[in-house]
Structure 1
Amino acid sequence: MNEASTCRAYVVPGLEQSGWYYDPHNVIEQKTFTDGRIVVAGRKVRRRPEKRADYLLKYTRDYTIAVVEAKADYKLPGDGLQQAKEYAAILGLKFSYATNGVGIVEFDYLTGQERLLDTFPTPEDLWARLRAGEGIDDDDIARRLLIPSYIVDKVPRYYQEIAINRALQNIVQGKKQRILLTMATGTGKTLVAFQVCWKLWEARWNRGGKYTHPKILYLADRNILVDDPKDKMFAHFGDARYKIENGIANKGREMYFATYQAIAEDKNRPGLYKEYPRDFFDLIIIDECHRGSANDEGSWREILEYFDPAYQLGMTATPKRQDNIDTYTYFGTPIYSYSLRQGIEDGFLAPYHVHRIVTSYDYAGWRPSPGELDRYGRDIPDADYTTKDFEKKVALQARTEAIARHLTDYLKRTDRFAKTIVFCVDQEHADEMRRALNNLNADLVRSNPEYVCRVTSDEKDIGRRHLSNFQEVENRANTPIILTTSQLLTTGVDAPTCKNIVIARVINSMIEFKQIIGRGTRLYDGKDYFTIYD
């Protein structure tokens, strides 16, 4: 009897007999949980095989508790155990099973024990064992862990489900006051944050133990990082949402959004955050928490310390390094990490090619001619200038034009309508780059005046409109194809259409580098990889 026949004749009836096919429990058969890595060879693109579990056992709709791997009846019961254990480790499960339809082998990650079984455990048995192993003694805590997710158009992927469940468990069990999730750019941290908030909201969880909705603050350092989740993903909270801004400390809502700058103390006013009681918030979510919030000397750190009674969930895309050590010191070891490498390996993120260009100015350096003036008509001090000096100590227009020419030639050889973001030294450099690219692509600009646009903080609403049009997947006509920027787009911008990342400045931080290339890692139909033009 082959594997398929074994499943029909023995495995499914065995699982049904143990109660797994009866509500609220469920069995997901032949569940694919990765997409398979994208492999690019020349112009050919293929995917490696997906990872697929024979059976996932769900205690409830959103709570997977075990994995089962089945083999043909002429094989040993334990022949599929290594695969089952591998899948359980990836999926964050504590129980894995292998069977040939006649015998069953169980591996229990809670005890480290392996044993032979005649029948599958019941859902109640596994849930009781999991509760005992995880110290979930309180029935009310157990109930809160099983609150269903809000059904949105994006069903959580396996790693998001792990992150959601671990964050939720840490909070409702009171394990840690400060919690950290490290997840690569493009892997859906906002969805994780939303589902955690929704489950706590539906569970009527709060620190005081009252049966009321929690008060939650979503905190970040840029308006785009706050406005986008507030107006999109978190729109399901309806009128419970409120953005703290313009010096007004409203206390009559439950789901708050704010930038550090809007509530922090500065030379013109005391901190607006102090108008809220220290214990006002039950949970604070800090997006891109490596960006100053956990810096020992940062004024923003004072906000987190002021609201110390609240549970604090930090989210970052950057692994622990020397230049973000304060973040990991403050929040501690991540309760879950999902790396850029793993995202690419699973096929959820786009792989990348590196196209390296070295201009003659970067290779040999540059020295001004006697009496040479800068763009403002000032004498340029006589010195040898290298890459680190360009657009900082000296603005070298010829270098900017050389980079723009290289990029234009590359796009002409590949695809002139491939969405591209150029990261420049500062806003002035971004404007010079925009002008150079505009003039080199005048044939396309005649029909699409917004072919090249600058998006920096100076543009305000106009820049946001350009960015929104750039992000548009459905309509590519008469939208920006190339954006020049400096710092604004390094983080928190969902741009699945972006196929080229151009780095036209020196980056001395691995954190910033990973944030920048994260603009290109998201996939969409017609985009299988992206290019880093360095």
Structure 2
Amino acid sequence: MKDINLRDYQKECIETIQSQPPGAYLVQMATGLGKTVTFANIQRKGKMLILSHREELVRQPLKYFDCLTGVEMAGEHATPMDEVVSASVQTMAHRLERFAPDEFDIVVVDEAHHSSASTYRRILNYFHPRLTLGFTATPNRSDNVRMNDIYQDIIFQRDLKWGIKNGYLSDIFCRRVNIGYDLRSVHTRGGDYAPGELEKAMDGTADAIAETYRTMAAGATLIFAVSVNQAQEIAKRIPGAAVVTGETKDRADIIKAFTDGQIPCIVNCMVFTEGTDIPRVETVIVARPTQSDSLYTQMVGRGLRLYPGKERLNLIDCVGVSGRASLCTAPSLLGIDLKDVPERRLSEMDGMLFELPEKVERAADCPESWIKNVQIVDLWAQEQKYNTHGVNFFKMPNGSMVCSLMDREKIVIPCQDELGRVNFNGRLMPMQSALDFAYIKLTTNYKEQEYIWNLEKAKCWGKAPASDKQLQLIQRRCKGFDPAGLTKLQASQILNRVMNGGRRSA
């Protein structure tokens, strides 16, 4: 390892790791807090293997080591003398025979939230290291695949909020601007938009992106474009802007000129997602739509470094029509899902980052979201293999499960962590145990009609039209919402929310 002055929390993380018995553990550390330099300084008793999901990240960690290092990716092969091997997961999954099962003392899984994928499992099942360490910067979403069959505990956590509060990262002011693209016909491949189709869908947006820069950017600006061609088109429209792509040879000179204030804006295509340190960045414009939480946090992460005179990061999401796909925007940094927020309310998702959760909750707390909730909770329970016992839970944008009772009383089960656990009733327990405890509490203390669906009735009500009485109540309670065409099930869901703890109006 190189002689680097580690921060106190990085030292604490390393000490925590080194105190663990052999096993597999998760470490959650926000982008910008230095997870790579942290795992590079773990004391090894043998060789280390680093697994990365995206090829552009494979070489990045090696600059932190002063020993022999090798790469396993495409045409590159590590040698037996290499003490640290950094590998593309896709490549390593097909080259396991080159290595002995006990070859590595430590296996580090970068972007560990991908660990449940079959390629990862093949590798992790093959090797038998002393320590398997999963590092992730991405906050968990409740609908993510659980990793409790891979990792046995989460041993260290420092999230984005902690980093900002403790003065290690810049605060974030978030805005969104619609630049007119339409992604509804773009297919998803490997968990993100298909590159060629995405580039075609973004064709013609350079003018809008340049206008966004002129009217909304502040200070030194970094723009993420979807392609080399788009990057060049955007830069043509911004005086003094520089373009950086994978083919750019004088990248270091451009970064220096940018840091010195000689270049006002850099437009790049998939280059500065690698952890390049450019602290001066005051504005990040994300004009590269993505469904990948990790890619999005990497892009935003380029503007999180502190810099003299820099008050905060100005984050601008260039949005359009994305259809059902889960487009990552600022709330994604906190693990918040916007798919339940009506289109008409999305423009409200501006402001300081930690103001957004309440804004999202308010925007999603409306009849359009309430009537979908039965299907949302049912699908979530099926995918996660949970039994909700028929309790009428509402799944909130932050992943928590809320059962609203009479007199505005609520039972709240927080979002589960990466191992499927929640803090409930003062204890850390599996999500299913929390659902069981909630059901026992409800059956003991409340009347059944207050909290539970009659599933057979729900099947009938799913097709029957709402009664006149239901429609009248909804019109009176939900001002501005048209209840025409609702089924009995949808109407009862709205009324349950309004009368048992929900808001009094849309």
Q: TM-score range by the shorter chain?
A: 0.5 to 0.7
| Deviation string, structure 1 residues 74-98 (Cα, Å, up to 9, x no partner) | xxxxxxxxxxxxxxxxxxxxxxxxx
What is the TM-score of this pair, normalised by structure 1? 0.51
Mapping of 1:36-185 within 5 angstroms?
152-154=3-5, 156-170=6-20, 174=21, 176-185=22-31
| Pairs aligned (count) | 307
| Deviation string, structure 1 residues 127-178 (Cα, Å, up to 9, x no partner) | xxxxxxxxxxxxxxxxxxxxxxx78342x222212211111111xxx2x411
Q: Equivalents in 2 of 1:164, 1:529: separation in Å?
A: 29
Which residue identity lines up with residue 206 of structure 2 in the other structure?
T
The DSSP-based 3-state class of the residue aligned with 2:128 is coil
Q: 2:136 maps to which residue?
A: 316
Shift of 1:479: 6.0
2:199 is the counterpart of 1:401: no
Q: Equivalents in 2 of 1:389, 1:258: separation in Å?
A: 23
Aligned-pair identity in percent equals 26
1:420 is matched with which residue: 222, 228, 231?
222
2:230 is the counterpart of 1:432: yes
2:33 is the counterpart of 1:243: no
The DSSP-based 3-state class of the residue aligned with 2:19 is helix
2:99 is matched with which residue: 246, 251, 276?
276
1:453 is matched with which residue: 243, 250, 262?
243
Q: Over alpha carbons, which structure has the higher Rg?
A: 1
Q: 1:11 maps to which residue?
A: none
* 1:224–1:492 CA contact under 8 A, matched in 2: no
Q: 1:504 maps to which residue?
A: 287
The DSSP-based 3-state class of the residue aligned with 1:315 is strand
Shift of 1:189: 0.9
Shift of 1:303: 1.5
Shift of 1:482: 1.4
Which residue identity lines up with residue 267 of structure 2 in the other structure?
L
Mapping of 1:15-26 within 5 angstroms?
none
2:153 is the counterpart of 1:333: yes
Shift of 1:469: 4.2
Q: Equivalents in 1 of 2:176, 2:10: separation in Å?
A: 34
Which residue identity lines up with residue 152 of structure 1 in the other structure?
D
Q: Equivalents in 2 of 1:286, 1:480: separation in Å?
A: 36
* 1:323–1:509 CA contact under 8 A, matched in 2: no
Q: Equivalents in 1 of 2:28, 2:91: separation in Å?
A: 26
Q: 1:524 maps to which residue?
A: 307
* 2:170–2:311 CA contact under 8 A, matched in 1: yes
Which residue identity lines up with residue 278 of structure 1 in the other structure?
P
Q: 2:34 maps to which residue?
A: 188
Shift of 1:495: 3.3
Q: Equivalents in 2 of 1:332, 1:489: separation in Å?
A: 33
* 1:219–1:286 CA contact under 8 A, matched in 2: yes
* 2:257–2:263 CA contact under 8 A, matched in 1: no
Q: Equivalents in 1 of 2:250, 2:78: separation in Å?
A: 29
What is the TM-score of this pair, normalised by structure 2? 0.53
CA change 1:346–1:244 in 2 (3 A) is same
Q: 1:287 maps to which residue?
A: 110
Q: Equivalents in 2 of 1:333, 1:494: separation in Å?
A: 31
Q: 2:268 maps to which residue?
A: 484
Q: Equivalents in 1 of 2:202, 2:62: separation in Å?
A: 41
Which residue identity lines up with residue 351 of structure 1 in the other structure?
D
The DSSP-based 3-state class of the residue aligned with 1:331 is coil
1:533 is matched with which residue: 292, 316, 332?
316
CA change 1:396–1:219 in 2 (3 A) is closer
The DSSP-based 3-state class of the residue aligned with 2:108 is strand
* 2:2–2:65 CA contact under 8 A, matched in 1: no
Higher relative contact order (CA closer than 8 Å, sequence separation 6+)? 2
Structure 2: 5+ residue stretches without partners? 184-193, 318-506
Structure 1: 5+ residue stretches without partners? 1-149, 201-205, 207-213, 266-270, 367-387, 445-450
The DSSP-based 3-state class of the residue aligned with 1:405 is helix
The DSSP-based 3-state class of the residue aligned with 2:178 is coil
The DSSP-based 3-state class of the residue aligned with 2:302 is helix
2:117 is the counterpart of 1:296: yes
* 1:469–1:480 CA contact under 8 A, matched in 2: no
